[in-house]
Chains A and B, each alone.
Chain A
């Protein structure tokens, strides 16, 4: 069921929701969260489709906030809110409200979203593109427990990563980080199988892919060894090579789906490491709504501390100055914990 409302308000939208539910005979709501998607008209369709696929796992109320571009002074001064309320079969497992904001109200989107949040349930904001540089202080971001950005989708991923580290607040997360969960899990499993100490690491992947940097920073942060980031033609991440005191451990994925894990002294093994769809990433993101400390710790390690990639991104220089002060203060406890672990491990290995 679909209801179109033009030039409307949040309370009228709420009314339409209640009427709609009554009309299709499902007044009971089992939705567990509100997902707010902030996007432009261009990316709205794909984002909403990914969200409704993810909603199979997490029934939710999805609010799509589309900020329309005003093209004349007159447009800018008149403000208008149009809404499309979708329920039942049209909205998959939850409810979807597409909000189109015109003119002045674009800057006050939180006033539209706030009355439409589910009572008591957590709020997740997702910016498929054009995420604010400081998500937690964004008026919409401030409503949410979880703020999902995607540095993969921006012009200068490295600069963006530095800014994210700078502005990090608990609850921030990035789809570039979500993308590497299978890699991280496979690398951890690989180290489960050997009793060796890692001495250096190389992370290889396509250019302009912040996932490679995040993976490299995570490894550097956890292992406390030098990590090199090198560039290949992709797709995505292509290989991680860990040099250990008992030979190399290499996870190599040339084709973007089936990887090969080779460990010195052990047979090579195929492992499935398919690049995932956005819907799967969002579904994973919604599974846990508490702050991701591991992400914070990896992010704050700092891109500049990786053995600088050959391409010489100018953003690296800026990042150094911006990231250092904030990073050192807030990172201290997490780093200590990581350091503490290392000696224990060395002792056990010997």
Chain B
């Protein structure tokens, strides 16, 4: 994209950021993620006029499809899952650039066909050699696909064009495997052309953490150890493992969620103000705070893992983890994990961060709760403040995105009685009813080459450094605690906070 375009003007804020000429190649295009998220996101972007004319979408999969079959699948996926209404003329624009390449990942011929397709698109659609490869494939296929891209010259950037790789979690299963994976990817793609999707970072509320903290004056002065008692970061799911037994067993909740989503949320909550909002400055601050994370001395005391047992979840009977199809009845995989960490810096010394995640919990919710200390002195007598809890700022990441502030307020009446009330900001209430899906934002950023919202290699490796000792400890000590499905986790987790004189919020 030439920066000298006279029609572009930073002051002209109506003109959206449109990606330059480019195309997207999806490997594993028949998968769920592709149908439910990626294809609709591409359509929604086109519908909002954010894709360049001639944008091309190439599917690569084993199925024996023609271009038309692929277009039909995309059509159905878009109709069913897209956020914005279906418009024929947008579809007509998209369909011209849709191609399908049939083949397996070890099939040299297929990759030659893919290269031919890309060259054909450059001619027919004017994509200018700019292609992003979205690897929506199981981790074990990563190396094969990456090597094939290299072997067939698909990763080579010619002058003025780019080739990018988009990869999904998991980014390895421990530090060593993550390093191996990074080595494989970086051998073929330069580090700044590799985009690791953590769809949480594409969510509006997560980006709003930075706006809340650094665009306002009223929160930052109390955002430190002088006022904050502790922080709870929760990501709860109400579903079980569903059909993911093969992937999930042996991985577990901590690797699946804490390593990426929760530690990223922790980094955004705890980091210092970045010098600017560009990718380097953000990554520098996030890396700094992740590097300062300190694990508890006694891992047995300050970490808990659990497995859901049979129970009732929201009115439906649910089987226990060990009874799920395809799960070894002696499996020690955690479906619930809670850990306590500290952050060794001046701002946070002595403030515990409690992270927890789990499947088959009470409801689906993700939130960050910053819980404040009690007032050092209260002029009211204890009966007046009996019902008063701790003040808190809760950032609700999903669902019902927004921010809640909890504080005490006098109950109307003749006696002085103070009770917790909450003040709510809901995104849906003050802003557009339909915020863009995380994937829309992230795919657009990939095409624009904007790496703000993508975790970097160092962040991934630091996160594994935090989690690895815990996983090792768990491997050698004990078994996961059982908790009935539909509850808020094992009693051990409650005990863990109770020992500190605190308790989990009910999200």
Q: Any chain B CB within 8 A of the CB of A267?
A: yes
Q: Any chain B CB within 8 A of the CB of A15?
A: no
* Cβ distance A221 to chain B, nearest Cβ, rounded Å: 10
In B1-32, which residues have CB < 8 Å from any A CB?
1-9, 11-16, 18, 20-21
In A288-309, which residues have CB < 8 Å from any B CB?
288, 290, 292-294
Instruction: Provide the bound-state CA to CA distance between A205 and B145, in Å.
Output: 50
Given contacts A57-B433, A269-B96, A269-B125, contact A222 B6 (CB under 8 A): yes
Q: Which residue of chain A has its CB nearest to the CB of B96?
A: A270
Q: Any chain A CB within 8 A of the CB of B380?
A: no
Q: Contact at B14–A272, with CB atoms within 8 Å?
A: no
Interface secondary structure of B, over-half rule: loop
Within 8 Å by CB of A344, from B4, B7, B11, B433, lies B4
Q: Contact at B53–A190, with CB atoms within 8 Å?
A: yes
Residues of A within 8 A of B2 (CB): 191-192, 195, 348
Residues of B within 8 A of A288 (CB): 13-14
Residues of A within 8 A of B12 (CB): 184, 293-294
Given contacts A32-B431, A344-B4, contact A192 B89 (CB under 8 A): no
Q: Contact at A272–B431, with CB atoms within 8 Å?
A: no
Residues of B within 8 A of A188 (CB): 5, 7-8, 15, 18
Given contacts A263-B126, A267-B125, contact A345 B4 (CB under 8 A): yes
Instruction: Provide the bound-state CA to CA distance between A93 and B430, in Å.
Output: 10
Q: Contact at B123–A57, with CB atoms within 8 Å?
A: no
Q: Any chain B CB within 8 A of the CB of A82?
A: no
Q: Contact at B53–A189, with CB atoms within 8 Å?
A: yes
Residues of A within 8 A of B430 (CB): 30-32, 59
Residues of A within 8 A of B8 (CB): 188, 192
Stretch at the interface among B205-213, B342-350, B421-429: B421-429
Instruction: Provide the bound-state CA to CA distance between A338 and B52, in Å.
Output: 25
Given contacts A182-B49, A185-B16, A258-B92, contact A266 B6 (CB under 8 A): no
Within 8 Å by CB of A294, from B4, B11, B89, lies B11
Q: Contact at B18–A189, with CB atoms within 8 Å?
A: yes
Within 8 Å by CB of A191, from B5, B96, B425, lies B5
Q: Any chain B CB within 8 A of the CB of A257?
A: yes
Q: Any chain B CB within 8 A of the CB of A321?
A: no
Residues of A within 8 A of B425 (CB): 30
Within 8 Å by CB of B53, from A261, A284, A293, lies A261
* Cβ distance B408 to chain A, nearest Cβ, rounded Å: 18
Q: Any chain A CB within 8 A of the CB of B87?
A: yes
Instruction: Provide the bound-state CA to CA distance between A266 and B52, in Å.
Output: 14
Q: Any chain A CB within 8 A of the CB of B497?
A: no
Residues of B within 8 A of A185 (CB): 14-16, 18, 49
- Interface range on chain A (Cβ under 8 Å from partner): 35 or more
In A303-350, which residues have CB < 8 Å from any B CB?
338, 341-342, 344-345, 348-349
* Cβ distance B160 to chain A, nearest Cβ, rounded Å: 10
Residues of A within 8 A of B11 (CB): 293-294
Q: Any chain A CB within 8 A of the CB of B165?
A: no
Residues of B within 8 A of A272 (CB): 46-47, 49, 87, 89-90, 92-93
Q: In the complex, which of the residues B3, B13, B125, B429 has the most CB atoms of chain A within 10 Å of its own CB atom?
A: B429
Q: Any chain B CB within 8 A of the CB of A181?
A: yes
Q: Any chain A CB within 8 A of the CB of B33?
A: no
Q: Which residue of chain A has its CB nearest to the CB of B3?
A: A348
Given contacts A184-B15, A258-B93, A267-B124, contact A348 B54 (CB under 8 A): no
Instruction: Provide the bound-state CA to CA distance between A273 and B11, in Å.
Output: 23
* Cβ distance B161 to chain A, nearest Cβ, rounded Å: 12
**Interface mask (A239-274 → B, CB under 8 Å = 1, otherwise 0):** 000000000000000000110010100110111111
Q: Any chain A CB within 8 A of the CB of B476?
A: no
Instruction: Provide the bound-state CA to CA distance between A219 and B123, in Å.
Output: 29
**Interface mask (B427-464 → A, CB under 8 Å = 1, otherwise 0):** 00111110000000000000000000000000000000
Q: Contact at B426–A267, with CB atoms within 8 Å?
A: no
Q: Contact at B96–A348, with CB atoms within 8 Å?
A: no
Instruction: Provide the bound-state CA to CA distance between A31 and B425, in Å.
Output: 11
Q: Any chain B CB within 8 A of the CB of A28?
A: yes
Q: Any chain B CB within 8 A of the CB of A72?
A: no
Q: Which residue of chain B has its CB nearest to the CB of A288?
A: B13
Q: Any chain B CB within 8 A of the CB of A187?
A: yes
Instruction: Provide the bound-state CA to CA distance between A30 and B123, in Å.
Output: 50
Residues of B within 8 A of A182 (CB): 49
Instruction: Provide the bound-state CA to CA distance between A180 and B46, in Å.
Output: 17
Residues of B within 8 A of A28 (CB): 424, 429
Residues of A within 8 A of B13 (CB): 288, 290, 292
Within 8 Å by CB of B126, from A57, A266, A348, A349, lies A266
Q: Contact at B54–A269, with CB atoms within 8 Å?
A: yes
Q: Contact at B87–A192, with CB atoms within 8 Å?
A: no
Residues of A within 8 A of B15 (CB): 181, 184-185, 188
**Interface mask (A184-208 → B, CB under 8 Å = 1, otherwise 0):** 1111111111010010000000000
Q: Contact at B6–A345, with CB atoms within 8 Å?
A: yes
Q: Which residue of chain A has its CB nearest to the CB of B91?
A: A272
In B28-59, which residues have CB < 8 Å from any A CB?
46-47, 49, 52-54
Q: Any chain A CB within 8 A of the CB of B128?
A: yes
Q: Contact at B92–A284, with CB atoms within 8 Å?
A: no
Instruction: Provide the bound-state CA to CA distance between A181 and B3, in Å.
Output: 20
Given contacts A192-B1, A263-B126, A274-B87, contact A93 B433 (CB under 8 A): yes
Residues of A within 8 A of B4 (CB): 344-345, 348-349
Residues of A within 8 A of B3 (CB): 348
Given contacts A267-B126, A272-B87, contact A58 B432 (CB under 8 A): yes
* Cβ distance B119 to chain A, nearest Cβ, rounded Å: 13
Instruction: Provide the bound-state CA to CA distance between A349 and B257, in Å.
Output: 49
Residues of B within 8 A of A169 (CB): none
Residues of B within 8 A of A258 (CB): 89, 92-93
Q: Any chain B CB within 8 A of the CB of A108?
A: no
* Cβ distance B185 to chain A, nearest Cβ, rounded Å: 29
Residues of A within 8 A of B433 (CB): 56-57, 93
Q: Any chain B CB within 8 A of the CB of A223?
A: yes
Q: Which residue of chain B has its CB nearest to the CB of A348?
A: B4
* Cβ distance A249 to chain B, nearest Cβ, rounded Å: 11
Q: Contact at B429–A59, with CB atoms within 8 Å?
A: yes
Q: Contact at B429–A30, with CB atoms within 8 Å?
A: yes
Q: Which residue of chain A has its CB nearest to the CB of B427?
A: A30
Q: Contact at B53–A271, with CB atoms within 8 Å?
A: yes
Q: Contact at A271–B93, with CB atoms within 8 Å?
A: yes
Residues of B within 8 A of A178 (CB): 14
Residues of B within 8 A of A290 (CB): 13
Residues of B within 8 A of A31 (CB): 430
In B51-85, which residues have CB < 8 Å from any A CB?
52-54
Residues of A within 8 A of B9 (CB): 222, 294
Q: Contact at A192–B126, with CB atoms within 8 Å?
A: no
In B105-137, which residues have CB < 8 Å from any A CB?
123-126, 128
Residues of A within 8 A of B90 (CB): 272
Residues of B within 8 A of A271 (CB): 53, 93
Instruction: Provide the bound-state CA to CA distance between A344 and B4, in Å.
Output: 7
Would you give 20 A-B contacts (Cβ < 8 Å), ordered by A? A59-B429, A185-B49, A187-B7, A188-B5, A189-B52, A191-B7, A193-B20, A193-B128, A223-B7, A224-B6, A269-B53, A269-B125, A270-B93, A270-B96, A272-B46, A272-B87, A290-B13, A292-B13, A342-B6, A348-B2
The 3 A-B residue pairs with the shortest CB-CB distance in the complex, in nearest-first order? A30-B429, A345-B4, A188-B7
- 13 A-B pairs besides A267-B125, A269-B96, A292-B13 with CB distance below 8 A are A28-B429, A56-B433, A187-B7, A193-B128, A224-B6, A261-B53, A272-B92, A274-B89, A294-B11, A338-B6, A345-B5, A348-B4, A349-B4
